[in-house]
């Protein structure tokens, strides 16, 4: 509680009790505005000194303020395990278990314990496999993210220590120097020629000079000098922590993959329910079955028709894919983002630090000279006028342009050096050339200042030419740095010179990364359009676009509010956003708006970035990608975190995600086909012959099938050359066609075996015409259904002939093993409890030959379906128009528990939308607070203004 006035100013002494003050009060600017308060008052307010806090005090403040990181949301492992059994598909199997143990009574028989135990074990096995895979993937991600944990130099107990930045609390004293990332919001209490790069906050390339008493922000980088500061904000109470709150999602959104899973699940459940209702009516009303016999047939449809392993198979596929992407230095923090990355059609990329190096460089090819001094010597002279220690960004750029940095002082003796200051806006060095012992002076700085400084050889033509060159650089987004030299005949550092001569104009820019152009070309070859979205100036954005062959059809962000300019061909803002190559001068709400508009137009959008200003758009995008060295806010908002510089890893991620998508699509087509095959086949056999297939054998079939199909997560597939999308109409139609064909194979086989002497003429057993449920027939039909059904996976996984496209070794081995087991069961098993009897090797051979004959036409059926659903004239653009399954919102997702909720990186942006605003649990719309967004933008605008002012007055 304050004992003096709470409304503070620079002249008011503050007396508070840090043990009792509320965190909300401390960060209420109406009470304590620590961004403007005198530093002495801050030290008094936070009960600290220049010697720092004690360890005990720091620990007590951690308990009060929390760790210096964004909130972590941990998933209870037990609930994560149970989530694999909490979805509509599992509910059907759980209902089957209840039927087996509760309703399967009567007829003098005990409850169906074998089926009950088998169903429960199958549920537990699927849940266990899925949980283990996700848990292992989660541990891998946690280990990688832990390796990225930042360190900070903190003064504790009066001594400097290097500790994890997460341990920082308000009142800590920290030290920062060249190259350090500022670990928390702080006020400088000591500053030595310090310059801070706030590109992660504002998107502007040039650093900002800071002085004692100035505020420095978490996530910014020290580019020059060193200093000490008192921490005033940590975690969510920092500048980018507040940015995180702008887009914190509190709904329970359904991701794209969850929508697909839901529709596939409904297709299977509706198919089962349809045939189940008909079968119950036929059995009890038509055939007058006794109660227990009918219940057994109900169990056959419930157990055999439901793709119980689907959530597990897809979860395992994604988890294995996440580990594979991690090997390519891409950490996946939201599993279902892998599937959405496969469908991305537009990649929105930040410029500074993402497309570019965020390092200023001289464009030697465009360097201008105004005397007989060569371009190489112009750079050398400018290096003389640069610091070689405690360099700012310009000095680093100039000296770095030399073949060898030692040349900046080689062969000369420094007599005097005048560093850059905001008044003179230039640097100057007086030096002695050791080769002839003569003294010279060189100056570099703002073009107009240097031109005014020159008195020798200056003509109207030279002045006009320099102004024209400066204007040309400005149009192209290049910054101009002029260089002039003079001789000092007196030979002393303060001696009068002969007059400065203008010798050159250096074009300075932030160059693209070495692999960016190739990455963009590869992305476009894969059908992904790349757009630049940057907070930098339009001219700079256009020049970068030209260098990267991205195009320069770019606009200022103001067009999003004012509408398309007259020279634009677009009629609406949406058309402009879609057609533009990029936007410049954007703030968080602009990036967010651009991504939202693209999603509303039906495009899956990925956003790359590294700074706080990218976080809202990263969270909004279908796939947010934080590049290497990104801020904590960007990592928390992103779905994928890159651990290597550049964008080339994204191409590996796109190709990897498309492979993963192909595996999931192949499995989905297969599992839907098997559902139709089982429910249609055994329903028709019941109607036609009163055939009662044993429910336990359907369970065995499901177990072997699930064990085999899990290996599809490592299958060999070829990624597509265009963005993928779920064509559920094709999948469901193919499932019906395949299901009918496989059913026909079983019905034909049963009819031939039961009603004709075709097989008996070959020496095989004949069956009495009045015994359609002969136990050997049960074994034979089991083998026929098992082998041909599982073989269908080789058809759905291939685009050409299935016996030509080689599967992975593990999938082939699993299939062979499962069919050996199925064959041995059919040949030898005499299980009275489930009404089967070994059929012998003769009948097993007949089944295999029959199935081989029926297998080969499946490829031609596939080709016919491809012709119907994928005409050769279809273009990539037409495929993109089929992206109807945009991300939507719902009150609850039954699948998100182990796809979307699987999050190992701390995220304040856990829920993501494609279009519109999220919904809270009670159905209310939750949008970003306009007031908060305006306040955040105002702070950013102030920082950008300061940076731009520094840029315009740079050397």
Give catalytic residue positions. Answer: 350
* Tokens coding 739: 């299901």
Report CA 505 to chain centroid distance, whole Å: 42
Do the beta carbons of residue 361 and residue 513 sit within 8 Å? no
C-alpha–C-alpha distance, residues 308 and 120, integer Å: 12
Distance CA 159, CA 165 (A): 16
CA 781/CA 692 separation, integer angstroms: 11
Q: What's the Rg (C-alpha) of the chain?
A: 35
Q: How many CA atoms lie within 13 A of 525 on its CB side?
A: 9
Helix, coil or strand: residue 754: helix
CB 807 within 8 A of CB 797: yes
The per-residue DSSP string of 549-588 comes to: TS---EEETTHHHH---TT-S-SSHHHHHHH-SEEES--H
Q: 675-706 burial by CB neighbour count: b if 16+ within 10 A, else e? A: bbbbbbbbbbbbbebebbbbbbbbbbbbbbbb
Angle CA 69–71–77, to nearest 5: 125
Token pair for 329: 């230095």
**Is the separation of the CB atoms in 778 and 694 below 8 Å?**
yes
Are the C-beta atoms of residues 354 and 515 closer than 8 Å to each other?
A: no
**Residue entry with tokens 């060898």:** 404
Residue (of 363, 147, 397) closest to 954 by Cα position: 397
- 711 touches 761 (CB < 8 A): no
Listing DSSP states for 193-257 in one string gives EEEEE-HHHH--SS-EEE-TT-EE-TT-EEEEEEEEEEEEE-GGGSHHHHHHHHT---S--B-HH
CB-based burial, 537-569: b 16+ in 10 Å, e otherwise: bbbbbbbbbebbebebebbbbebbeeebeeeee
CB count in 10 Å sphere of residue 881? 11
Give 614's Cβ-side CA count (13 Å radius).
37
Among 651, 372, 630, smallest CA distance to 528 is for 651
Q: CB burial class (10 A; 0-12, 13-18, 19+) of residue 939?
A: middle
Q: Is 11 helix (H, G, I), strand (E, B) or coil?
A: coil
Dihedral sign for Cα 34, 35, 36, 40, please.
positive
362: DSSP letter:
E
Q: Which two tokens stand for residue 625?
A: 């990608």
What is the CB-side half-sphere exposure of residue 501 using CA atoms within 13 A?
16
- Residue whose C-alpha is closest to residue 726's, from 795, 664, 804, 648: 664
Look at the alpha carbons of 821, 826, 832, 833 in this order and tell me if their dihedral is positive or negative. Answer: positive
Nearest CA to 590 among 623, 624, 555, 543?
A: 555
User: If DSSP states are collapsed to H, E and C, what string results for 75-121?
Assistant: CCHHHHHHHCCCCHHHHHHHHHHHHHHHHCCECCECCCHHHHHHHHH
């Amino acid at each position: 509680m304050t004992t003096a006035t709470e409304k503070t100013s620079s002249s008011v002494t503050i007396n508070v009790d840090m043990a009792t003050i509320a965190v909300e009060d401390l960060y209420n600017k109406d009470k304590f505005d620590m961004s403007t308060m005198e530093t002495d008052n801050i030290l008094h307010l936070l009960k600290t000194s220049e010697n720092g806090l004690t360890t005990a005090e720091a620990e007590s403040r951690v308990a009060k303020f929390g760790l210096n990181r964004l909130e972590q949301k941990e998933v209870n492992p037990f609930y994560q395990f149970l989530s694999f059994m909490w979805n509509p598909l599992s509910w059907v199997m759980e209902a089957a278990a209840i039927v087996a143990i509760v309703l399967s009574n009567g007829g003098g028989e005990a409850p169906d314990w074998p089926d009950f135990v088998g169903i429960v074990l199958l549920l537990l096995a699927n849940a266990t496999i899925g949980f283990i895979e996700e848990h292992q993937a989660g541990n891998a991600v946690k280990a990688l993210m832990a390796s990225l944990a930042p360190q900070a130099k903190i003064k504790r107990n009066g001594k400097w220590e290097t500790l994890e930045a997460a341990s920082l609390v308000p009142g800590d004293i920290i030290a920062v120097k060249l190259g350090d990332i500022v670990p928390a919001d702080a006020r400088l209490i000591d500053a030595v020629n310090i310059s801070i790069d706030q590109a992660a906050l504002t998107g502007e390339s040039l650093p900002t000079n800071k002085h004692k008493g100035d505020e420095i922000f978490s996530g910014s980088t020290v580019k020059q000098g060193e200093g000490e500061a008192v921490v005033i904000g940590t975690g969510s109470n920092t500048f980018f922590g507040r940015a995180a709150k702008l887009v914190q999602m509190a709904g329970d959104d359904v991701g794209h993959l969850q929508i697909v899973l839901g529709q596939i699940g409904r297709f299977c459940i509706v198919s089962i329910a349809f045939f189940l209702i008909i079968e119950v009516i036929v059995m009890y009303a038509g055939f007058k079955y006794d109660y227990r016999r009918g219940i057994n047939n109900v169990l056959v449809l419930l157990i055999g028709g439901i793709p119980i392993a689907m959530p597990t198979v897809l979860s395992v596929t994604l988890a294995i894919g996440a580990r594979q992407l991690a090997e390519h230095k891409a950490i996946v923090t939201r599993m279902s983002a892998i599937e959405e990355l496969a469908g991305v059609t537009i990649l929105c990329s930040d410029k500074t630090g993402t497309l570019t190096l965020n390092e200023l460089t001289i464009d030697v090819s465009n360097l201008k000279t105004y005397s007989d001094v060569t371009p190489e010597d112009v750079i050398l002279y400018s290096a003389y006028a640069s610091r070689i220690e405690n360099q700012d960004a310009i000095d680093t750029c100039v000296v770095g342009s030399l073949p060898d940095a030692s040349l900046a002082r080689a062969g000369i003796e420094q007599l005097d050096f005048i560093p850059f200051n905001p008044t003179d806006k230039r640097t100057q060095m007086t030096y002695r050339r050791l080769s002839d012992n003569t003294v010279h002076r060189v100056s570099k700085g703002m073009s107009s200042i240097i031109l005014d400084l020159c008195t020798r050889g200056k003509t109207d033509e030279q002045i006009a030419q320099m102004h024209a060159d400066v204007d040309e650089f400005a149009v192209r987004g290049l910054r101009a740095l002029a260089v002039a030299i003079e001789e000092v005949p007196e030979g002393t550092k303060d001696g009068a010179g002969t007059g400065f001569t203008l010798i050159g104009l250096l074009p300075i820019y932030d160059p693209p990364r070495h692999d960016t152009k190739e990455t963009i070309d590869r992305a476009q070859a894969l059908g992904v359009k790349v757009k630049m979205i940057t907070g930098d100036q339009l001219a700079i954005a256009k020049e970068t676009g030209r260098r990267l062959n991205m195009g320069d059809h770019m606009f200022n962000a103001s067009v999003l509010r004012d509408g398309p300019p007259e020279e634009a061909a677009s009629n609406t803002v949406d058309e402009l956003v879609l057609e533009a190559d990029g936007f410049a001068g954007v703030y968080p709400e602009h990036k967010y708006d651009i991504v939202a508009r693209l999603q509303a137009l039906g495009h899956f959008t990925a956003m790359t970035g590294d700074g706080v200003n990218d976080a809202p758009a990263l969270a909004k995008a279908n796939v947010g990608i934080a590049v290497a060295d990104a801020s904590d806010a960007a990592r928390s908002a992103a779905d994928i975190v890159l651990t290597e510089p550049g964008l080339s890893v994204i191409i590996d991620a796109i190709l990897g995600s498309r492979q993963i998508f192909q595996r999931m699509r192949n499995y989905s087509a297969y599992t839907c086909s098997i559902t139709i095959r089982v429910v249609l086949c055994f329903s028709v056999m019941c109607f036609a012959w009163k055939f009662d297939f044993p429910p336990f054998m359907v369970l065995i079939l499901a177990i072997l099938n699930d064990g085999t199909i899990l290996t599809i997560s490592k299958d060999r597939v070829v990624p597509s050359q265009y963005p993928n999308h779920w064509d559920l109409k094709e999948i469901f139609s193919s499932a019906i066609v395949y299901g009918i064909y496989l059913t026909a194979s079983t019905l034909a086989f049963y009819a031939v075996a039961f009603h004709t002497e075709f097989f008996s003429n070959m020496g095989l057993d004949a069956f009495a015409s009045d015994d359609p449920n002969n136990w050997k027939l049960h074994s034979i039909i089991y083998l026929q259904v098992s082998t041909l059904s599982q073989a269908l996976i080789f058809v759905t996984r291939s685009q050409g002939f299935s016996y030509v496209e080689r599967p992975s070794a593990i999938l082939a081995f699993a299939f062979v093993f499962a069919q050996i087991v199925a064959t041995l069961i059919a040949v030898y098993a005499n299980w009275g409890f489930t009404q089967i009897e070994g059929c012998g090797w003769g009948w097993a051979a007949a089944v295999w030959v029959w199935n081989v004959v029926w297998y080969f036409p499946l490829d031609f059926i596939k080709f016919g379906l491809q012709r119907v659903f994928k005409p050769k004239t279809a273009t990539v653009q037409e495929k993109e128009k089929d992206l109807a399954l945009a991300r939507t919102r719902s009150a609850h997702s039954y699948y998100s528990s182990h796809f979307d909720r699987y999050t190992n990186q701390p995220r304040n942006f856990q829920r993501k939308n494609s279009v519109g605003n999220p919904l809270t649990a009670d159905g209310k719309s939750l949008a970003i607070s306009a007031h908060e967004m305006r306040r955040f933008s105002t702070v950013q605008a102030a920082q950008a203004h300061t940076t731009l002012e520094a840029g315009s007055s740079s050397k």
